[in-house]
Amino acid sequence: MPSVTPRPIPRKPYDIWRIRAIFDAYGVESHYDRLAQIDRLQIANHAGNGSWAHDPRLTNAMNRYSIGIELLGIGTRAEMKDVLGSMANLQVKSGDRGYTEEQYMALEQLIRHLRNRYGLPPENIISHQAYDPGRKWDPGVLLDWSRVR
């Protein structure tokens, strides 16, 4: 992920139109984008290059074989250093980092739906970091994986 020029912390960090603009700037998309409700996004160029499960079909081709869910959250200071810049990162309150109860509830509902619809085993729910550990770090250490699988 490219480094972003430090900017003041926005008043509405989870505004869907602001997030859409950020996604457009980075050239990424997801199938689902979660605030406290579930929003369906149509195009999903979400996975990028990487590999998983020693399956050559999935190497640099995960967009064709996966469903992308973007978690809108602010990671730890270390995770966000290159994303926000030092000054903006220091302004983020610790209570604003991580994910909300409403986000977990929506994510649990979505994962349950997708697992039932597609017969997905829990081990097939992975992070960007698992697919491309050298380049991606998200969703970060603040995600409670016991609530996802």
Angle at 131 between CA 129 and CA 132, to 5 degrees: 65
- Helix spans in 41-100 (H): 62-65, 77-84, 86-91
Architecture of domain 16-147: 3-Layer(aba) Sandwich (3.40)
Taking the alpha carbons of 129, 107, 44, 88 in that order, is the dihedral positive or negative? negative
Residue 67 in contact with residue 55, Cβ under 8 Å? no
For residues 136 and 1, is the Cβ–Cβ distance under 8 A? yes
d(CA 143, CA 149): 12
Which amino acid, residue 135?
A: R
The pLDDT of residue 17 is above 70: yes
Q: Enter the pTM of the model.
A: 0.69
Helices marked H in 58-139: 62-65, 77-84, 86-91, 101-118, 128-131
Indicate if the pLDDT at residue 3 is higher than 60: no
Give the mean pLDDT of 54-64: 85
Confidence class for position 36, pLDDT limits 50, 70, 90: very low
Q: What is the mean pLDDT of residues 39-45?
A: 53
> What are the boundaries of each domain within the chain?
16-147
